[in-house]
Homo-oligomer: A and B are copies of this chain.
């Protein structure tokens, strides 16, 4: 029997292609209109996706001038979508660098209650340079410090979620006893970065803990994922690179005392789908023709912590020497490394590189018919390059619709993807167990 595939819809603006919002297949609704996101969530649920996901950045960013930007905040959006859907998992990004752990633990616990156990937290340390100054910092804390904090932060948040026994509430109007106070404990966390007394002020979430999701792929990021992550979003430009990552991370989880199945690995997949391969390629060419060199340069600069590429010639082959050493980049180191490796390997022109990144910012892109997309998915799964995919439609909602209507049925016919939901929680969809509470015996 083939391994089941997991599918997450990554919701981003009006599509993941940088120029997707300019395409006729993109919505014309505002990114502050909850009905747009509710509609996407319902379409994904109709397609039996495991989950939907919102990324996040704690600054507006320079690209906003030319890219659909300024969307709803993910936690509030997710709470609203919890009332618009009944089965699909809901994942929001939130930052360990710029949020009080008590507030974050509480809001995600509340979301998990509101949704009946369908919530995941995408743990980020916030690499964008502009976030720090929105939170009282001269500049963002450095990569290593952000991860050191994040490691402790996740410990605090887990301890808060676990500060109530699952059976702490008695709720007996006859005797007047509501809570068994001995089944709720202070956490009295006193670490290097955080001091949090606890307990949390609401009961343990239905899933025990919301699913912990993570997307850092630097050496530090991978070590973090091996310890904590239950689902991982990751960016690869080739199946070989994804397979290496997959093997390394599963091994890392085992080394950290966990099982390989305790981490679901979901590489990004931006599929431009047409009735035929030729039509799909035409779509991608149309989108690329709508891109803007300045937008691409600004995004590339962002990825390298503000490095200025604007003096480079547009139409001559690049070399690795044109780029700073990724390990010195105080942003998303792994994504910088993906890009410099690509440059060293393929020697693209700057214009060509920007177009390649315009599709999905360094994630795998493929153009083809529904059959072709289904083949890629099956191939990556069989090659143990993925447990499923973080689907990044280049244009929303049009390209999601095509995927749901034409790719999902192929996967279902081959027995690779569920026809109906078999679980009610995100943990259930991902095949993850409910974490025991280490502080209370039942």
Contact = CB atoms under 8 A, between A and B. Distances in A.
Contacts of A135: 100, 102, 196
A21 interface: yes
Contacts of A58: 102, 201
Contacts of A201: 57-61, 69-70
Contacts of A70: 164, 169, 179, 201-203
B203 A290 contact: no
Nearest to A184: B60
A130 B77 contact: no
B60 A178 contact: no
A320 to B, nearest CB: 31
Nearest to A173: B22
A133 interface: yes
B113 A177 contact: no
Contact of A66 (B30, B57, B83, B176): B176
Nearest to A23: B173
Contacts of A68: 171, 178
A176 B63 CA distance: 12
Given A58-B201, A134-B197, A181-B64, A99 B103 contact: yes
Query: Chain B CB within 10 Å — which of A79, A103, A135, A194 has the most?
Result: A79
Stoichiometry, copies per complex: 2
B75 A76 contact: yes
Contacts of A21: 173, 178
Interface residues of A, number: 76
A366 interface: no
Contacts of A103: 98-99, 103
B83 A34 contact: yes
Contact of A80 (B59, B83, B181): B83
Nearest to A131: B102
A261 interface: no
A19 interface: yes
A100 B102 contact: no
A257 interface: no
A146 to B, nearest CB: 16
A199 to B, nearest CB: 5
Interface stretch (A3-11, A104-112, A344-352, A378-386): A104-112
B60 A200 contact: yes
Contacts of A136: 194-196
Contacts of A177: 65-66
Interface of A: 19, 21-23, 26, 30-34, 38, 57-61, 64-73, 75-80, 82-84, 98-100, 102-103, 106-107, 109-111, 113-114, 130, 133-136, 164, 169, 171, 173-174, 176-181, 184, 194-203, 290, 292
Given A64-B178, A64-B181, 11 more contacts: A30-B171, A30-B203, A34-B83, A65-B177, A65-B181, A72-B113, A75-B107, A76-B76, A76-B107, A80-B80, A98-B103
